[in-house]
Amino acid sequence: MPAHDVLILGAGLAGQRAALAAAEAGASVAIMSKVHPVRSHSVAAAGGINAAINPADDWRSHAYDTVKGSDFIGDQDAIEVMCREAPHEVMHLEHIGVTFHRNETGQMDLRAFGGASMKRTAYVADITGQAILHVLYEQLMKHHETVDRYEEWFTTHLLQDESGAVSGCIARDIRTGELQEFTAKNVILATGGVGQAFKPTTNGLICTGDGIAQAFRLGAPLMDMEMVQYHPTCLVENGFLITEGARGEGAHLLNSNGERFMEKYAPNKMELASRDVVSRAEQTEINEGRGVGPGGVGIYLDVTVVPRKRTLEALREIVNIGKDFAGVDITREPILIRPGQHYIMGGVKTDVDGATPISGLYAAGEVACVSVHGGNRLGANSLLDTLIFGRRAGEHAAARAAGMPMPKAQGQARLNDEQGMIDGIIAREKTGRRISEIKDELGTEMNKNVAVFRTQDGLEHALDVVRRLKEEAKTAYVDDKGTVFNQDVLGALELGYMLDCAECTVIGAIERKESRGAQFRVDFPDRNDDEWQKHITLSRDGDGTPVVGYSPVTITQWQPEERKY
């Protein structure tokens, strides 16, 4: 039975960075992923990573922009850690082989991104996530003697010992259907976000909130779950992302009158205001009848104003996306976009070392809420978050492991229980709904009522729908009864995770009776610092219902002020 000092669940940027740090600290490490590591969702990250590298820049300016972007609900101690450590982390990436774009003088080039007071985003064309993910994977290979990789293994359950500390997990080998127990002194969750609870979303099919729900079921509190980022430039047809790098290079947003409407909403920053501001501006134009395209449901993104040579050099992937998924050559004509679900600011509550309130359980990356993004994440701050807090979690977990004995394995009886749960799913009669139907209804409902604009009635409707779907999910049937690559069974488990996460998101949104960051309540349009300058936490009560709590926002040097761009 495998036993490790540090078991990392998830092999995106957060998981791989954690694995590398833990291995370098001398721990025995295992990293597990339900897809091959370099197919993790991080591979999709396009535009870049923020760091105050320019000598004229300063980490405090980056931190202030992040605090402001968060609408003054990000924890400033965590933001300080992230921004202070950013330049060193990006240089480290460069030294281990990430080929960041350089300017004519040979220095690392930086591009503009939303909400930033200066050019601060390092990039590899528009494949930054892919470039970093592949280099980290190569680096992990150097540690093959102390790092075991479990690729295409699906974690179904986190294990706890008698004291309540996390002691490993149960996972299913996707290739064979075999279940196995993994014992570990520490577990780091790096399982990513839950974008698939929304439709459309920019997120990969694997982003189903597995780790968030598994931690929640264990008793770990979730935080800021109501804060869901809608990205301003997603293809109307399918939610594919056109990176913010396009606006960073100078692209314009136009309504049906051909106006650059951001003049009205953010006269100083225009298209480069923060994402929540731009998404709301677009949705307002659409709702007020100035949308473009069939049914007026979109907005034009005009990249033709960027020199063609520059577009082909720095935005080549979205040139391909435009051609392949919208039939548009963005170097010659505007492309139809609209806001679409992109990122969740909330997740498992952690401290700056990735530790959760449950002993031995850490979390980093999109699964976690440290909280550095608060009500709204600035573009290019997520890759940074994954790397800084992935590394810190890896180092911390390795240090903790050094002083403790290996927990006892729980053995065959526990495995039999888990197998019984899976057999129960496979044995379901064809009387229930299909998993895909339930998922589809969930995503559509969330996109309708838990999106850019929210109301009490809409949110209550969404909660009713989510709770009905939770019941229906209990009888959803699977067609595939086999053991080899049975994605159908895994789909049933993922549906349960998405529904748990969605319920927490809606409850948080109903609770927060104000507008801040990504949470815009039409019925409470103002930010209300007196009552709501606090985090909303959600913990599970005995029968599984999320219970609301609060946590204070840490302020260090930036007092709340009105947010204007």
Binding of residue 46 to ligand FAD (CB under 6 A): yes
Interacting span for ligand FAD (CB under 6 A) from 39-47, 64-72, 401-409, 502-510: 39-47
For residue 27, the minimal CB distance to ligand FAD (Å) is 19
155 binds ligand FAD (CB under 6 A): yes
Q: How far is the CB of 336 from ligand FAD (least distance, A)?
A: 17
In this chain, which of 4, 34, 280, 391 binds ligand FAD, going by CB under 6 A? 34
CB of 342 to ligand FAD, least distance (A): 6
Query: Alpha carbon of 88 to those of 51, 327, 416: distances in Å?
Result: 9, 41, 47
Question: Which residue's CB is nearer to ligand FAD, number 132 or number 463?
Answer: 132
The smaller minimum CB distance to ligand FAD, of residues 186 and 381, is found at: 381
What is the rounded CA–CA span in Å between residue 78 and residue 371? Answer: 7
- Footprint (CB under 6 A) of ligand FAD, residues 450-469: none
Mask: binding to ligand FAD, 235-264, rule CB under 6 A, as x and -? ------x-----------------------
346 CB contacts (<8 Å, ≥6 apart)? 222, 223, 224, 225, 226, 227, 228, 369, 504, 505, 508
Tell me the C-alpha distance between 302 and 202, whole Å.
Answer: 20
- Binder among 183, 202, 449, 537 for ligand FAD (CB under 6 A): 202
Query: Phi then psi for 100, rounded to 5 degrees?
Result: -60, 150
DSSP code at position 51: -
Measured CA to CA in angstroms, residue 336 lies from 124, 198, 264, 270, 293 at distances of 25, 20, 21, 19, 7
Q: How far is the CB of 441 from ligand FAD (least distance, A)?
A: 22
Joined together, the tokens standing for residue 70 give: 């968060």
Q: Which is nearer to ligand FAD, 358 or 465 (CB)?
A: 358
Give me Rg for the CA atoms of the chain.
Answer: 22
Task: Give the per-residue contact string, 172-201, with ligand FAD (x = CB under 6 A; - = no).
Answer: ------------------xxx---------
Name the minimum Å distance from CB 126 to ligand FAD. Answer: 8
Under rule CB under 6 A, which residues in 306-345 are in contact with ligand FAD? 343
Q: By CB under 6 A, which span of 30-38, 301-309, 319-327, 429-437 interacts with ligand FAD?
A: 30-38
Count of chain residues binding ligand FAD (CB under 6 A):
44
User: At its nearest, how many Å lie between ligand FAD and the CB of residue 523?
Assistant: 30
CA-to-CA distance for 149 and 118, rounded, in angstroms? Answer: 40
Least distance (Å) between residue 34 CB and ligand FAD: 4
Chain positions 338 to 377 lying near ligand FAD, rule: CB under 6 A, are: 343, 365-367
Of positions 33, 70, 196, 274, contacts ligand FAD by CB under 6 A: 33
Return the number of the residue (178 or 460) whose C-beta is nearest ligand FAD.
178
Element at 344 (helix H, strand E): strand 335-344
Q: How far is the CB of 412 from ligand FAD (least distance, A)?
A: 22
Peptide bond into 70 cis (omega under 30): no
10 Å Cβ neighbour count for 134?
17
Give the binding range for ligand FAD (CB under 6 A) out of 44-52, 312-320, 394-402, 436-444: 44-52
Which residue lies nearer to ligand FAD by CB, 459 or 490?
A: 490
Nearest one of 346, 389, 343 to 81, comparing CA atoms: 389
Tokens 């609408």, residue? Answer: 71
Query: Comparing C-alpha atoms, which of 546, 553, 518, 550 is closest to residue 537?
Result: 550
- Select from 23, 35, 393, 450 the one that contacts ligand FAD (CB under 6 A): 35
12 lies in the binding site for ligand FAD (CB under 6 A): yes
Sign of dihedral through CA atoms 280, 240, 34, 190? negative
Q: Which stretch binds ligand FAD (CB under 6 A): 42-50, 74-82, 173-181, 280-288?
A: 42-50
Q: Which of 74, 87, 114, 129 binds ligand FAD (CB under 6 A)?
A: 129
Considering only 28, 76, 196, 382, the residue that binds ligand FAD (CB under 6 A) is 382
The reply on whether position 203 binds ligand FAD by CB under 6 A is yes
Residue nearer to ligand FAD on the CB measure, 381 or 537: 381
Q: Which is nearer to ligand FAD, 234 or 266 (CB)?
A: 234
Q: List alpha helices for 25-75, DSSP H.
A: 59-69
Q: Nearest approach, Cβ of 382 to ligand FAD (angstroms)?
A: 3
Neighbour-count burial of 106, counting CB atoms closer than 10 A to its CB (0-12 exposed, 13-18 middle, 19+ buried): exposed
Half-sphere exposure of residue 231: CA atoms within 13 angstroms, side-chain side: 29
301 forms bridges with which residues in the sheet? 253, 335
Question: 104 by DSSP, 3-state: which?
Answer: coil
Residues annotated as catalytic are 275
Residue range at the interface with ligand FAD (CB under 6 A); choices 45-53, 135-143, 353-361, 451-459: 45-53
Beta strands in 54-178 (DSSP E): 121-122, 147-151, 153-160, 166-173
Residue 115 · residue 69 · CB < 8 Å:
yes
Task: Tell me which residue has tokens 């139809």.
Answer: 336
Smallest distance, ligand FAD to C-beta of residue 486, A: 14
* Alpha-carbon span 540 to 542, nearest angstrom: 7
Residues that bind ligand FAD (CB under 6 A): 9-15, 32-35, 37, 40-42, 44-49, 128-129, 154-155, 190-192, 202-203, 206-207, 210-211, 241, 343, 365-367, 380-383, 386
